[in-house]
Amino acid sequence: MARTAKANCWDVMTCGRGLASVEPCPAALDATCDGVNGGMNAGRICWTVPGTFCSGEIQGDFLDKQETCLACRFFLQVRHEEGQEFRFVKLAQGVLDVEDLHARITQVESLMGIRDRLRARFNLDAVIAEITRQARVLTRAQRSLVLLLRGNPPSLHGEFRLRGSVMAVDIPCDESSAVGYAAVNNQTVNVKDPYRAPVQQDDVPFNQAFDEACDCRTDSLLAVPVRDSDGRVVGVITAANSAKGWFSQDDQWFMECYAVEVGLAVEKARLMEEAVLAGRMASISESLAGLSHFLKDVAHALVGTSFIIRRAIRQGRMEDVKAAWEILDRHVKRLADLCKDVLTYDPERPDEIAPGNLNATVRDAVSLVQPEARTRAVELTTELGAGLTRWRHSKRGIYRCIVNLVVNAFDACLPGGGHVTVMTERRGDEAVIRVVDDGRGMDEETKARALETFKSGNQVGGSGIGLPTVVEIAERHGGRLEVESTPGRGSTFTVHLAGAGHLDRKY
């Protein structure tokens, strides 16, 4: 018991319950705090001792009396006298200094922070990367790893970076290793100095295989089971090689908090992945259904017309051959267009973009569909703007855009004919191509469907790939497609093409 020259609480508060009194205060008797803040026993950290006798009455524990204590002149005096060395808290294991307390607060804040961040994330890999990084920092570990159960028989699978390359590890889910033990027994395992004691308390074994595979040495290891919301173990989170030599009870507590977050994140990420996959499958299936419907329509016409032609030739009815041949021709063209669109749509097959006369390309494309316009009683005109003679564009791509948009416009004009105008205009940094019709127009739902792959918004029955192809081509030009439409009044499709500076050079 070291005596000091510094004043103890009983000296300052003059309670008469000092060590030398008949009935000493618990603060005067608490030898576990002797010397703290330079006092005798708990004489200078009395606020942490329950049942002290000050202000003439017996006090409760720290929580009860903290308000009084923190305002007490003796507390303020000690804090002032000790300055940087001031110790505020006493825990069961000993006394923590202010710095330690701050470190703990930082850990709790970080835990709360990561919780918010993780809950906003769906990508499992990103979640795991974030958790292992935080766990490493907070437990001051050399490395941290999340291992998830998978396969049959189940093993614990994890991936990590080692000296610049990604390593994968599969640990059997059995009691042959500390990590497996944690998973099988649904229990936290804290391994200390395993090379000296390969079998730890509770018969937790240590398996050197991981160290050998990764050419490292584990001196301490914390393995905490990760559970899903039903409490089933789905993996293990580990931290290895604490900077303090081993992992404390606090580290264990933090890792268990992390494990809860990992469990939720894993579950959420898996649900999300399943939902995305299911969505993708549904979309593929819907796309195939749409395409199949288009092909059935075309096949229906081909089978029918070829029957009519064969029979008409046999019977010598040439007028039937001619009429059926026209229908056959149209459907062969629909098929050919689909093939071209599929090729254009293929991102693996980019087109060449070069400076050229955009108006000339538009004029050529319009002349291609002019005969079709006449058969449909549609008046097709152009209004071409200035400043577009050397505009970087894909000739083939713009052809497809114009033909697709104009034929769509024809379809919109059915059955009584109508007016379709193709306009070009230079507007600052971009070129604009507009296809305007006065046809039946689209409501919002039809408009949305029209832009989705293989879901034709066209009542006449398109392949469902025409407009997405236009979007694809516009985007390859650093531009976009805009659609305005009013039911009963017509539609305007506007293709914006970026100037040379906006183009992706690869294209």
Residues that bind other proteins (CB under 8 A): 292-293, 296-297, 299-305, 307-308, 311-312, 315, 317, 320, 323-324, 327, 330-331, 415, 459-461
- Residue 149: CB partners within 8 Å, gap ≥ 6? 155, 156, 157, 173, 183, 233, 234, 235
Least distance to other proteins, CB of residue 305, Å: 6
Q: Which is nearer to other proteins, 22 or 303 (CB)?
A: 303
Separation in Å, CA 389 to CA 357, 392, 433: 4, 9, 14
∠ CA(395), CA(398), CA(401), 5° rounding? 155
Q: Which is nearer to other proteins, 334 or 395 (CB)?
A: 334
Q: Which is nearer to other proteins, 107 or 456 (CB)?
A: 456
* Dihedral over alpha carbons 121, 122, 124, 129 (to 10 degrees): -10
In the block, tokens 């029957």 appear at 307
Least distance to other proteins, CB of residue 461, Å: 7
Q: Which is nearer to other proteins, 114 or 412 (CB)?
A: 412
Least distance to other proteins, CB of residue 313, Å: 12
Least distance to other proteins, CB of residue 309, Å: 10
Q: Which is nearer to other proteins, 330 or 419 (CB)?
A: 330
Q: Give the pairing type, strands 57-58 and 89-91.
A: unpaired
- Residue 198: CB partners within 8 Å, gap ≥ 6? 205, 206
Q: Which is nearer to other proteins, 69 or 291 (CB)?
A: 291
Q: Which residues pair with 53 in a beta bridge?
A: 58
- Residue 105: CB partners within 8 Å, gap ≥ 6? none
Characterize 352-364 residue by residue with b for buried, 16 or more Cβ atoms within 10 angstroms of its Cβ, and e for exposed.
Answer: ebeebbbbebbbe
Least distance to other proteins, CB of residue 411, Å: 11
In the block, tokens 């307390």 appear at 101
Q: Which is nearer to other proteins, 305 or 485 (CB)?
A: 305
Least distance to other proteins, CB of residue 329, Å: 10
Q: Give the pairing type, strands 418-427 and 378-383.
A: parallel
> Cis (ω within 30 of 0) for the bond into 487?
no
User: With contact defined as beta carbons under 8 Å apart, do 88 and 78 qualify?
Assistant: no
Q: Which is nearer to other proteins, 195 or 307 (CB)?
A: 307
∠ CA(38), CA(44), CA(49), 5° rounding? 135
Q: Which is nearer to other proteins, 111 or 291 (CB)?
A: 291
Centroid of chain to Cα 482: 29
Least distance to other proteins, CB of residue 406, Å: 19
